[in-house]
Chains A and B, each alone.
Chain A
Amino acid sequence: MKTKRIITLLLLLCLVITSMPLTAPTALAEDDDEWYTYTYSYWKEETASPNAYSVTNTLYGMDIDPEIGNLNNPKGLFCIGNLLFICDTGNNRIIEAYKDEEDGLYKLSRIIYQVNVSTTVADAMQYGGKVDNTLFQPTDIFVKPMTEELRRSYGDYLGDPYIYPGDDSATEQGGDAEPTPTEEPKEDAADETETGDSGESGDGGESGEGGEATPTPTPVPQQGPKKDNVVRKQLDNEMYDLFIADKEHKRVIHCDYNLNVINVVKNPVDDTLPKNYEFKPNKIVADNALRVYAQADGINSGLMEFDQKGEFTGYVGASKVVVSLARKIWRKLQTRAQRNRSTQFVPTEYNNLSLDSKGFIYATISAVDEQDLWAGTATPIRKLNAMGSDILIRNGNSFPIGDLAWSSKLPSVRGASKFTDVIAFENETYACLDMTRGKIFVYDFQGNLLYAFGGIGFTRGRFSQAIAMDNLDEETILVLDTTRGTITEFSMTRYGKMINEALQLYKTGYYDESAKVWNEILQFNGNFELAYVGIGRALLRQEQYKEAMGYFESAHDIENYSKAFQKYREEVVEKYIFYAILALVALIFIPKIIRKIIKVRREIKEA
């Protein structure tokens, strides 16, 4: 009897245990495809957002024109008007394409392998002992619209074309195939003979003054495009000047649109630079005063600034090194070997820069310490004024540092965001390209994240190594993927346009209109905290304080809530102050009166 009971009990127990789930619920897979576009909430959580940009095109070199073939490790991208310049670094060329407004397709305009050298600039174009007009791994191009006035300030640069010693075509080929980037520049040695040659045999070719008005014969004979509309485009763009970062030739070439060299920036001389310093410009911009700012290899004191003549004038945006106390102590505790192995405390090195319409430089820094990012002391994006100080506004819930959470373990999200490019739009929003995750983060002028999108992957709108981007117009972003050699075109959706519209309306003072647009945006995305703030601000202007408080509370905007609350409190106090005083007076006097009455009565009684 007893054994039977024990057995049944055991069986029951087995039944109960087997009915329990043996495997734990599977952990949620780290899924990148969950949200394509997102923003961060007040609690720094990713919240899904409608797409602000959608992929409208993905271009290989072949898609633009079969003549281009594949891009090889392209590094730079620049857009102006409807023109698009791609620095095909690995192929030592720059591809100029344009977007045809009629059919919306990208078409080849020309391929730039070399520039035209006149005798006046032949000296400056010396490389490796001879005049070299080819490009060698160009990493960036900047195109600047020129006025007659500015052009005149350079004087006459269109001298007689420089004739190469020996066969023309032979030197060209030699230049293309030049394989040694480490070759020492020994300009001085061969200088005299070269110039002597050029002086003797200087005739023929292009005419001097007509360079701007009449298009010179295309400098690249074999790649010259024949289509009519392409020629028209070139004529339209006569007044564009090209600044080319000819990296491995260690110079920045400034030439006009017909590739006649105007000026060359090279060999900066300064006490701060080491004796054997090799100037290797990566990224360049030129401002309205025709100063050239260059981000060059091995320079960690800021961006290099060159004046109009190409003379090195100093650094811009040098950042101070701040070492925290904890780090100092930790460093004291480390052994010498450990100390050598750990990262050095050097000032940050910029890795890209771009110019906004007002002439401010937006620069990115990818070599930032992750702990500094956590602490909020790192500034991976900077907006530099003429003094070189950072004037970027960082009023958002979190600083513009890209993704707010990262880990070193998960395969798809490795480390913090590393910005490689930044573009500033007309309305002072700016987009930053994160190389680690192939994402684009767009911030407004206050530093609030508007939306982030993109990612690493093989589907449309994802990248393997996004390196550069530029905006064709205010609503089109082009992103260059260097390993795949593709250009991805993003076009703004209705949602993105509405955000821009609302921001613009608010900035220009149309608060009520902006509130209407923010309301519409909320229909698309109820999680968008900025919209609540926008509506709240409009309500604040309309003196609807109570309602404004509600919106600010939804967005966790304490500053504005406090303002609205102060006004609301004033309103309430004004409304009830009369009754409050009345009640106070009553409280003080009524007992006194009653006491008096009682006293009088008693006196009467007694009397």
Chain B
Amino acid sequence: MKKFLSAIAGFFHGESWANYKKTLRYAFYVILHPFDGFWDLTHEKRGSLAAANTITILAVLTHLWDRRFANFMVNNTRWSEFSIWMNTLGILVPLLIWVTANWCVTTLMDGKGRFLQIYMGTAYAFTPYVIIGLPMILLSNVVTKEEGVFYTYFNIFALVWSGFLILCAVLMIHDYSLLKGLVAIIISIVGMAVIMFVVLLFFSLLSDAVMYFVSLYKEILFRMG
């Protein structure tokens, strides 16, 4: 037991914990100095996957808490239809598809970034959504309907900021010019649609194939019996 505790204490005093804290704190620098920040994030290794994961999880939690705890005047959630898993996947799956599509596209377009670096950059870009979204949940519970526009506008502001950061991340990680970055993003979005289409097609065909064998089996059973 003592050994275990000391191991934990050792971890918190260790180098990896210090590095984690440093990389997480670096997110604040990134969102205020996006060009410098995203360049150093990958090229100078000032970001870490652990911090990126943390920000992603916080973004998911922000979204869930927003649905759950935001005041009902600004929150039109229908609880009978609400699914925590669908809401979680609603963020994580598009993120995964985005990173995949962007990686595929930028590989063909002389992008310098690797898969995990794209993920890291996108995750760091979520930071404004978290740091604005969380206080806004609290704020929504002390404002009237008329004052609720603050909630709406600040959330829109956060999303615009995050979007801008994603653009910066693509530019810096892949070392693109602005035009090339925009083109890459557009193609990536098309790529996302293609990926979704292919996945749906795959599952549709798979279920058709399964159904074929099931009906074949039923037919045999019917003939025999």
Which residues of chain A have a CB within 8 Å of any CB of chain B?
Answer: 14, 17-18, 22, 43, 553, 556, 558-559, 561-563, 565-566, 569
Residues of B within 8 A of A565 (CB): 73, 144
> Is there a chain A Cβ closer than 8 Å to B108's Cβ?
no
Residues of B within 8 A of A14 (CB): 221
- The majority secondary structure among interface residues of chain B is loop
Cβ contact within 8 Å between A561 and B142: no
Cβ contact within 8 Å between A561 and B72: yes
Cβ contact within 8 Å between A22 and B218: yes
- Closest CB of chain A to B206's CB: distance in Å? 18
- For the complex, what is the distance from the CA of A21 to the CA of B145, rounded to whole Å? 52
Q: Which of B73, B214, B218, B221 contacts A561 (CB 8 A)?
A: B73
Q: Sample 22 A-B pairs with CB under 8 A, ordered by A number.
A: A14-B221, A17-B214, A17-B217, A22-B218, A43-B78, A556-B72, A558-B72, A558-B145, A559-B145, A561-B72, A561-B73, A561-B145, A562-B144, A562-B145, A562-B146, A562-B148, A563-B144, A565-B73, A565-B144, A566-B144, A569-B142, A569-B144
Instruction: Given the known inter-chain contacts A17-B217, A22-B218, please indicate yes or no for A553 contacting B145, CB distance below 8 A.
Output: no
- The residue of chain B having its C-beta at the shortest distance from the C-beta of A13 within the complex is B217
- Closest CB of chain A to B78's CB: distance in Å? 6
Leading 5 A-B pairs by shortest Cβ distance: A562-B145, A562-B144, A566-B144, A558-B73, A565-B144
Q: How large is the interface on B (under 10, 10 to 19, 20 to 34, 35 or more residues)?
A: 10 to 19
- Closest CB of chain B to A281's CB: distance in Å? 48
Residues of A within 8 A of B72 (CB): 553, 556, 558, 561
Residues of B within 8 A of A561 (CB): 72-73, 145
- For the complex, what is the distance from the CA of A18 to the CA of B142, rounded to whole Å? 59
- Closest CB of chain A to B167's CB: distance in Å? 31
Residues of A within 8 A of B214 (CB): 17
Within 8 A of A (CB), among B39-74: 72-73
- The residue of chain B having its C-beta at the shortest distance from the C-beta of A558 within the complex is B73
Cβ contact within 8 Å between B221 and A18: yes
Within 8 A of A (CB), among B137-195: 142, 144-146, 148
Q: Which of B73, B78, B142, B218 contacts A562 (CB 8 A)?
A: B73
- The residue of chain A having its C-beta at the shortest distance from the C-beta of B148 within the complex is A562
- The residue of chain B having its C-beta at the shortest distance from the C-beta of A565 within the complex is B144
Contact flags B123-147 to A (C-beta < 8 A → 1, else 0) = 0000000000000000000101110
Residues of A within 8 A of B218 (CB): 22
- Closest CB of chain A to B19's CB: distance in Å? 35
Residues of A within 8 A of B142 (CB): 569
- Closest CB of chain B to A559's CB: distance in Å? 7
Q: Which of A43, A556, A563, A565 has the most CB of B within 10 A?
A: A565
- Closest CB of chain A to B66's CB: distance in Å? 17
- For the complex, what is the distance from the CA of A22 to the CA of B222, rounded to whole Å? 12
Residues of A within 8 A of B221 (CB): 14, 18
Residues of A within 8 A of B217 (CB): 17
- The residue of chain B having its C-beta at the shortest distance from the C-beta of A14 within the complex is B221
- For the complex, what is the distance from the CA of A338 to the CA of B78, rounded to whole Å? 42
- For the complex, what is the distance from the CA of A224 to the CA of B3, rounded to whole Å? 112
- The residue of chain A having its C-beta at the shortest distance from the C-beta of B76 within the complex is A556
Not counting A43-B78, A558-B73, A565-B144, a sample of 17 additional A-B residue pairs whose C-beta atoms are within 8 angstroms of each other reads: A17-B214, A17-B217, A18-B221, A22-B218, A556-B72, A558-B145, A559-B145, A561-B72, A561-B145, A562-B73, A562-B144, A562-B145, A562-B148, A565-B73, A566-B144, A569-B142, A569-B144
- Closest CB of chain B to A13's CB: distance in Å? 9
Residues of A within 8 A of B78 (CB): 43
- The residue of chain B having its C-beta at the shortest distance from the C-beta of A556 within the complex is B72
Residues of A within 8 A of B145 (CB): 558-559, 561-562
Residues of B within 8 A of A569 (CB): 142, 144
- For the complex, what is the distance from the CA of A22 to the CA of B73, rounded to whole Å? 47
Q: Which of A18, A43, A562, A566 has the most CB of B within 10 A?
A: A562
- The residue of chain A having its C-beta at the shortest distance from the C-beta of B73 within the complex is A558
- For the complex, what is the distance from the CA of A553 to the CA of B72, rounded to whole Å? 8
- The residue of chain A having its C-beta at the shortest distance from the C-beta of B81 within the complex is A43
- For the complex, what is the distance from the CA of A602 to the CA of B148, rounded to whole Å? 52
- For the complex, what is the distance from the CA of A18 to the CA of B221, rounded to whole Å? 9
Residues of B within 8 A of A22 (CB): 218
- Closest CB of chain A to B79's CB: distance in Å? 11
Residues of B within 8 A of A18 (CB): 221
Residues of B within 8 A of A562 (CB): 73, 144-146, 148
- For the complex, what is the distance from the CA of A14 to the CA of B225, rounded to whole Å? 13
- For the complex, what is the distance from the CA of A428 to the CA of B129, rounded to whole Å? 49
- The residue of chain B having its C-beta at the shortest distance from the C-beta of A559 within the complex is B145
- Closest CB of chain B to A391's CB: distance in Å? 26
Residues of A within 8 A of B73 (CB): 558, 561-562, 565
- Closest CB of chain A to B146's CB: distance in Å? 7
